[in-house]
Structure 1
Amino acid sequence: MVSYEKMKKIAKFIIRKSLDVKEKDVTLISCGPKSLQFAELLAFEAAQIGAQPTITYGSDKLSLQIYKTIKPKFLKNWPKLADILSKTVDVKIIIDETNPFLARQIPQKKVEIRRKTVKPINDREERRERKKELKTVLIGFPTEEIARAIKIPFEKLNRIFWAAMDINYEKLYEYNKKIIERLKNASEIRIVGEKTDLKFSVKGRKFINACGLVTQKGEIGYLNLPDGEVFCAPVENSVNGEIYFDLPCMWHYGKKVEGVWFRFKNGKLIDYKIENGRKNFEDVFKNASGDKDKIGEFAIGTNPKAQPTGGMIIVDEKVRGTIHLALGHNKHFGGKNDSTIHWDFFKNMEKGRIYVDGNLLMKNGRIR
């Protein structure tokens, strides 16, 4: 396990540097059974600077019991407390320790009903994040259950995760900034590789420096940790061609897919092949709504210590030498897609290339 002192150090960084929590900030911290100690460290740090921390606790065991037994009509009831919190909370910290073995049993149709119900609340929070009225961080958390689900020793997952968390975020900001300089005023991105030749426009779209510093240097009021990527919302109707994702992709740890191939025409997904987990993909995709069949994000991983885990998305998407594209929602960072899903798919670029307006940006996983 990670040492108490390291968790304490990282909690202090998150509160005082990453989120720059201020005196009197209403700070809501959500956690589960495995991450309670870390949540308490975050709450302690927030209290030391005069903020007003509150910890909320939940579990996938309870969620599964509720979703399996609840009548669908109750999922449509307006959540009054969540509505109030979305207007009043200044800082929101979500520690994600999803149990894959329980999450995959939760009925997706019922989850989708609830997503539609709370969507106006989520939309309000996104608007507040864009204005930096609300500062939000999603933090991963390694558990034995996640390790078993993605078939990696827990000790290895734990080591990879905390190494990716404990980096120099100022240096990461500068590294990302150099990439963004190369992308400034770009019109077209082309990705070439195995079973891959994909083009899309980024004209007029801003690339975001995701560097773990949401207020001082961040460009939106939302981040996740570990951090380390440069990303944007491509012009939605401009995506054409095919792309093959050779790294495992997970939906909230519960729905794993591998060997994913997509074909797009004028921004829409028109064909797909999935080597492993087709049913998992369709279970999520067919129950989703809105612009679920459009690319919502293009991103380049930049974290110097992140390593592939084979399924812990919050780490995998940050690995240098990889890219990811997401289907679905992107309104929170400058796009127009409105959907109940945002699903990342990962590609190792060791044998690939990225061109920006015909000029080589990345070859064999390295920025040129």
Structure 2
Amino acid sequence: MDPRIREHAEIIANHSVDLEEGDNVIIDAHPVAEDLVVALHEVIGDRGANPITTSQRTGKRQQRAYLRASDEEFETPDHELALVENTDVYIAIRATDNMTQTSDVDPETQAAHQQAHRPILEERLSKRWCLTQYPAPANAQLAEMSTEGYERFVWDAVNKDWDAQREHQENMVEIMDPAEEIRIKSGDTTDVTMSIDGNPTLNDHGEHNLPGGEVFTAPQPDSVEGEVLFDMPLYHQGREITDVYLEFEGGEVIDHSAAKNEDVLTEVLNTDDGARRLGELGIGMNRDIDQFTYNMLFDEKMGDTVHMAVGRAYDDTVGEGNDANDSAVHVDMIVDMSEDSFIEVDGEVVQRNGTFRFEDGFEE
């Protein structure tokens, strides 16, 4: 087995989920990620924990068959919920043999299915959990990379010194955590402000998401004003959505468009009331993620970017007494901040053209 796979498994166990003896562990993975699943079983066995492997979240072929055969009436599956309730650790491994497997499933059906599984999502998030990536050939193809090149890219971003990354990102946490307002400006297409007053800024250094490489917080749901053009594409429900444009007033999306698959974007925004408000603002800071790969787990951490998510706010990013945006969805979208762009915190520019105030080369 490639030693980088074993190192990946060790980082998940030691750094991301703090695996303990006796833990009940769910590994949710597509069969194409078998090598990482096997390595995790070795580590779990060494620790005296108890693994079970499923493909509920990541097995897209059977999910497609089920959703195409179903109507739009779904109930929360109690047996799946019970499985998560009786576990201590949940590890999801992204990998697939076909990135567009669910592209011919109706977006409304997918949204209804996601809504029914919301209690399961909430239960998973209450556990020690990690979402990571295995470098499968289909993911390499989507990234327009060779399989070998994509393997290097993934493991360079994952198998790294996370203590050093945490220290680097802490500089931005110290700027944002006490702040009241943030403005994001990029070219003539993005100019948006939001209040983060009283909401903690978190340092993602590879614990829940692996790779990590961002600092993030939750906007006050009613505070977002302005417009954003997300100039990097995203894949959602097996479809590529490009040039997403959102206009906010009083925190709510009042106008939207997309150059491609606008109907998928519309279904996301129509999922529930919270889907039309922002649940997250994140700043990408992982310099080892140096190219766009159509994989949000990596792309949102890329240096010289910011991302915003419509939908659910993470509980840890909402301060005591503040409103938390609630939704069945959480969909991230990215803005390139490498040129003609700045981030302003309480009236002070803290990043210009991708360079932070605390880095060499920052221009006042």
Q: Tell me if both proteins adopt one fold, taking TM over 0.5 as the criterion.
A: yes
Structure 1 343/96 Cα, relative in aligned 2: closer, same or farther at 3 Å? same
In structure 1, what is the equivalent of residue 109 of structure 2? 110
- Cα deviation, 1:146-192, whole Å, max 9, x if unaligned, reads 33345444443333222111211000111111111112310010111
In structure 2, what is the equivalent of residue 333 of structure 1? 316
Pair 1:354 & 2:343 matched: yes
CA contact (8 A) 2:251 2:277 kept: yes
CA distance in 1, matches of 2:120, 2:30: 22
For 1:159, which of 143, 152, 157 is the aligned residue?
152
> Which consecutive residues of structure 2, in runs of 5 or more, have no partner in the other structure?
319-323, 358-364
Pair 1:238 & 2:260 matched: no
Q: Secondary structure at the match of 2:273?
A: coil
Q: Aligned-pair distance for 1:250?
A: 1.9
- Greater shift, 300-309 or 194-203, is seen at 300-309
Pair 1:179 & 2:177 matched: no
CA distance in 2, matches of 1:285, 1:156: 36
Structure 1 113/275 Cα, relative in aligned 2: closer, same or farther at 3 Å? closer
CA distance in 1, matches of 2:310, 2:257: 15
Q: Aligned-pair distance for 1:71?
A: 4.6
> Which consecutive residues of structure 1, in runs of 5 or more, have no partner in the other structure?
129-133, 214-222
CA distance in 2, matches of 1:187, 1:347: 22
Structure 1 71/244 Cα, relative in aligned 2: closer, same or farther at 3 Å? closer
CA distance in 1, matches of 2:262, 2:116: 28
Aligned residues: 347
CA distance in 2, matches of 1:236, 1:72: 29
Structure 1 153/275 Cα, relative in aligned 2: closer, same or farther at 3 Å? farther
CA distance in 2, matches of 1:10, 1:118: 29
CA contact (8 A) 2:25 2:88 kept: yes
Structure 1 229/309 Cα, relative in aligned 2: closer, same or farther at 3 Å? same
- Cα deviation, 1:174-229, whole Å, max 9, x if unaligned, reads 1111111112310010111111211110100000110113xxxxxxxxx1111110
Pair 1:306 & 2:304 matched: no
Q: Aligned-pair distance for 1:289?
A: 2.2
- What is the percent sequence identity of the aligned residues? 26
CA distance in 2, matches of 1:101, 1:121: 24
Aligned-residue CA RMSD (Å): 1.9
Question: Where do residues 266-305 of structure 1 align in structure 2 (5 Å cutoff)?
Answer: 266-286=250-270, 288-305=271-288
- Cα deviation, 1:3-43, whole Å, max 9, x if unaligned, reads 61110111112112322101101111111121012111112
The amino acid of 1:102's aligned partner reads Q
Q: Secondary structure at the match of 1:103?
A: coil
In structure 2, what is the equivalent of residue 315 of structure 1? 298
- Cα deviation, 1:267-322, whole Å, max 9, x if unaligned, reads 01111232333233234434x22311101110011112012324111110111111
In structure 2, what is the equivalent of residue 219 of structure 1? none
CA distance in 1, matches of 2:176, 2:330: 23
CA distance in 2, matches of 1:272, 1:327: 12
CA distance in 1, matches of 2:34, 2:296: 21
In structure 1, what is the equivalent of residue 360 of structure 2? none
Structure 1 331/182 Cα, relative in aligned 2: closer, same or farther at 3 Å? closer
CA distance in 2, matches of 1:72, 1:349: 39
CA distance in 1, matches of 2:181, 2:72: 45
In structure 2, what is the equivalent of residue 30 of structure 1? 28
For 1:344, which of 322, 332, 339 is the aligned residue?
332
TM-score by length of 1: 0.88
CA contact (8 A) 2:27 2:52 kept: yes
In structure 2, what is the equivalent of residue 4 of structure 1? 2
CA contact (8 A) 1:43 1:55 kept: no
For 1:192, which of 172, 182, 185 is the aligned residue?
185
In structure 2, what is the equivalent of residue 70 of structure 1? 70
Structure 1 158/282 Cα, relative in aligned 2: closer, same or farther at 3 Å? farther
CA distance in 1, matches of 2:218, 2:329: 15
- Greater shift, 356-365 or 50-59, is seen at 50-59
TM-score by length of 2: 0.89
In structure 2, what is the equivalent of residue 205 of structure 1? 199
- Greater shift, 25-34 or 155-164, is seen at 155-164
CA distance in 2, matches of 1:343, 1:9: 30
Structure 1 29/8 Cα, relative in aligned 2: closer, same or farther at 3 Å? same
Q: Aligned-pair distance for 1:142?
A: 3.0
